[in-house]
Amino acid sequence: MEVPFNKPYITGNEIKYMEECINTGKICGDGKYTKMVSELLEKTMNSKKILLTTSGTHALEMALIQLNLEEGDEVIVPSYTFVSTANAVLLRKAKLVFADIDEKTLNIDINDVKSKITKRTRAIMPVHYAGISCDMDELMKVARENNIFVIEDAAQAVYSKYKGKYLGTVGDFGCFSFHETKNYVCGEGGAISVNLDGEDSIERAEIIREKGTNRSKFYRGQVDKYTWVDIGSSYLPSDILSAFLYAQLEKRDEIYAKRKAIYENYYENLIDLQNRGILKLPVIPEFSTSNYHMFYVLCESEKQRDYLMAELKKMGITAVFHYLPLHTSPVGNRLGYDIGQLPVTEKVGATLLRLPMYASLSNDKQEYVVDSIKRILSV
Ligand SMILES: *Cc1c(COP(=O)(O)O)cnc(C)c1O
């Protein structure tokens, strides 16, 4: 039996909507479907503005542009994240300050954040790893006390919640991804939720997204010609991809239910290994409602993790490790970071294994994964 790590879930209306989009004769950005998706996201997440972008990476870049960072300004980011969170900071020529993660949730360690705040700290970028929320009350408190922006990297956390509020709508900006590997997909895509008070920040986000022009205002008839007013880039997706995404989001409850069942099935069948001290399973804190983006196990050692991964591969199952800590990467080294500085991040990077997880994963295949893990670990 072959079990891939990920498989995009197709709901059935993708081609129909893409065809409809083509028939409208307007396939560039901000057409009918882009508007429909933005409105759906705003309404269902209670956000006052969500703009679709070409990727989660670009949503992060847009957020960082809005902060007007200057050389020497500092941004605190977990080292245990995807490169895009960190790249967005370096692209603004700001100083990247890596924080460690919490052993239980694998999210940014707020005590470590506190110890790294200086007069130059301008922003914190919490990542809601695996779709599980950071403790946002604690984090927002620290940020507000120190006059610091919060940009949520909610790339993995679309429709996850913190105390009933949708992730990505709690901080000043929230960034989402619709990459093929995420819960709701369109190949490559993303969105930014603008939560800062005031119309100015929404207008500026629209401008940055439209190459630094006020074209969005022009389309709404608020100005009679559009012109270059700020820096920006082309961050808006083709309406064809928005049409694809609309078909996904329409079926968000179905996708959520399937992922939840798969997550719970893994949990129930592997909890025995945790009770016997063989593996550790994910923890969802009380304040967090997960979107079940990922199911991972934490092994005892890197050796055990690599062995388990290799043996699963021989049995046709693709389980994968995740982030190599950014602070120990070549770029991290160039920035002056080194092994030994963020112990939890390093341990998790070496011992975490992600199991196959996608909405169409069958019971049979899942049972095969669980049985194979037990057989390999001889338990
Ligand atoms: C996927 C991901 C991104 C990047 O999203 P893209 O849409 O692939 O650009 C950023 N941060 C995190 C934590 C992610 O998981």
Kindly state whether residue 239 falls inside one of the protein's structural domains: yes
Of 6, 57, 183, 291, best ligand 1 pocket probe by most atoms within 8 Å of the beta carbon: 57
pLDDT on residue 4? 98
Instruction: Based on the fold, state whether residues 302 and 331 are members of the same structural domain.
Output: yes
Instruction: Based on the fold, state whether residues 59 and 93 are members of the same structural domain.
Output: yes
Kindly state whether residue 322 falls inside one of the protein's structural domains: yes
Kindly report the protein residue whose alpha carbon is nearest to atom 5 of ligand 1: 56
Final residue belonging to a domain, choices 250, 277, 309: 250
Instruction: Based on the fold, state whether residues 196 and 298 are members of the same structural domain.
Output: no
Instruction: Based on the fold, state whether residues 186 and 277 are members of the same structural domain.
Output: no
Of 177, 352, 354, best ligand 1 pocket probe by most atoms within 8 Å of the beta carbon: 177
Task: Yes or no: say if 132 and 107 are a contact pair by the CB < 8 Å rule.
Answer: yes
Q: How large is the angle between the packed helices 32-45 and 14-24, nearest 10 degrees?
A: 130
Kindly state whether residue 2 falls inside one of the protein's structural domains: no
What span, in angstroms and rounded, lies between the C-alpha atoms of 78 and 63? 17
82 pocket-lining for ligand 1 (C-beta < 6 Å) = yes
pLDDT on residue 183? 98
81 pocket-lining for ligand 1 (C-beta < 6 Å) = yes
Instruction: Based on the fold, state whether residues 134 and 192 are members of the same structural domain.
Output: yes
61 pocket-lining for ligand 1 (C-beta < 6 Å) = no
Final residue belonging to a domain, choices 216, 250, 284: 250
105 pocket-lining for ligand 1 (C-beta < 6 Å) = no
156 pocket-lining for ligand 1 (C-beta < 6 Å) = yes
CATH number of residue 327's parent domain:
3.90.1150.10
pLDDT on residue 199? 84
Final residue belonging to a domain, choices 202, 228, 250: 250
Kindly state whether residue 3 falls inside one of the protein's structural domains: no
Beta strands 149-153 and 121-124 are parallel
Kindly state whether residue 1 falls inside one of the protein's structural domains: no
What span, in angstroms and rounded, lies between the C-alpha atoms of 175 and 98? 19
Per the confidence metrics, is the pTM higher than 0.85? yes
Instruction: Based on the fold, state whether residues 238 and 323 are members of the same structural domain.
Output: no
Of 80, 101, 156, 158, best ligand 1 pocket probe by most atoms within 8 Å of the beta carbon: 156
First-residue to last-residue Cα distance in the chain: 21
CA of 58 to the centre of ligand 1 (A): 9
Beta strands 173-177 and 149-153 are parallel
Residues in the chain: 379
21 pocket-lining for ligand 1 (C-beta < 6 Å) = no
Task: Yes or no: say if 199 and 220 are a contact pair by the CB < 8 Å rule.
Answer: no
Q: What is the pLDDT of residues 148-200, one digit of tens each?
A: 999 999 999 999 999 999 999 999 999 999 999 999 999 999 999 999 988 89
CATH number of residue 87's parent domain:
3.40.640.10
Domain interval for residue 105: 14-250
- Tell me which residues of the chain have a pLDDT lower than 70: none
177 pocket-lining for ligand 1 (C-beta < 6 Å) = yes
Kindly state whether residue 122 falls inside one of the protein's structural domains: yes
Instruction: Based on the fold, state whether residues 177 and 105 are members of the same structural domain.
Output: yes
pLDDT on residue 378? 84
Kindly state whether residue 8 falls inside one of the protein's structural domains: no
pLDDT on residue 198? 81
How many domains does one find in the chain?
Answer: 2
pLDDT on residue 197? 87
Which atom of ligand 1 is nearest to 181's Cα?
Answer: 1
